[in-house]
Homo-oligomer: A and B are copies of this chain.
Amino acid sequence: MSEMRITRASAGVFPVLATPFAPDGAPDHASLSRMVERFLAMGAHGFTILGVMGEADRMDGGEASAVAETVMAAVAGACPVIHGVSAPGLDVVRQRAEVAMAMGAAGVMLAPPRGLGPDERIVGWFDAVLAALGDIPVCYQDYPQITGAPISLAALQGLFARHANLVMLKHEASPGLGRISALNAMPEPPSILVGNNALFIPLELARGADGIMTGFPYPDVLVEVWRRHQAGDLDTAEDLYDAFLPLIRYETQPGLAMAGRKYVLHRRGFLADPALRGPAAALSDRDRQEIERLMARCEARAADLGVRVAT
């Protein structure tokens, strides 16, 4: 097994990558490469691709593979890359996972199928799929607000106890702080990276989360927050995080989050164009003004704290 595979010891900031599109809808590989390189330079510890943030369900199979190839090439082995492979059926999951690993992925991310429940059916689904994936490292994406497939803490702990290849949790359940404490108390706790729109990061790190996996378009800020936290500077970590909370909060709007994030990525120079694949909610002029005002306010507050973000 390569050293680059994700393990229960994985930690740090794993940006979830957006897929850049040109105004005509074609994937913009130049922007994608540049964004990866800049995020690496900002200190990203890994990447996650082909999730919701990457509009994976709005690309065909060939486009998704091309996106993955561009990312793998730009990363060039510098850090682990996790590929989203969620699908309702085992065959498709396995095929996607094998393709991902053959391309050099560090592991795959998997959410339960929509609406699956109760516990026994989610557990049955994962038991079957994890067994079929053999030694491919898996990250369980627990986002019941979106999937409608809530799993109990005990059942989740059981999955981590039974399956050595289930190594990581993308923690997005809410309320969820108590869950982090409980999972960390396991004999061999999983790596816990937090998502859920970045809304609880300092609290989650304080509870023992190992890192951050989200599409918030300031990975530089997240890296600095994480570093300060690692260094034991909990208060200054939270001060910096709080400076950006108004923008983080803005991105919790269902249906507008993606458009907002891509607009910020565009304004920060990472994407040539903020286009989404449609049909999608378009930002109004007023929305864009609000975002720019929030960016300016958050960046100014960070500057007051001595942190200057690239523009």
Contact = CB atoms under 8 A, between A and B. Distances in A.
Interface in A157-177: 174-177
Interface string A83-120: 00001111110010000000000000000001001111
Contact of A58 (B87, B114, B125, B249): B87
A82 interface: no
A269 interface: no
A151 interface: yes
B249 A124 contact: no
Nearest to A297: B238
A273 interface: no
A114 to B, nearest CB: 6
A245 interface: yes
B25 A91 contact: yes
A110 B203 CA distance: 36
A284 interface: yes
Nearest to A199: B249
Contact of A60 (B90, B92, B297): B92
Contacts of A255: 121, 175
A114 B114 contact: yes
Contacts of A25: 91
Interface in A129-184: 129, 144, 150-155, 174-178, 181
B253 A58 contact: no
A238 B256 CA distance: 21
Interface stretch (A9-17, A34-42, A186-194, A275-283): A275-283
A242 B244 CA distance: 10
A117 B199 contact: no
B278 A128 contact: yes
A282 B153 CA distance: 16
A118 B122 CA distance: 11
Contacts of A92: 57-60
Contact of A245 (B117, B249, B254): B249
A77 interface: no
18 contacts: A57-B87, A57-B89, A57-B92, A58-B87, A59-B91, A117-B117, A117-B150, A119-B119, A120-B152, A120-B153, A124-B279, A128-B278, A174-B252, A177-B287, A178-B287, A199-B249, A242-B246, A245-B246
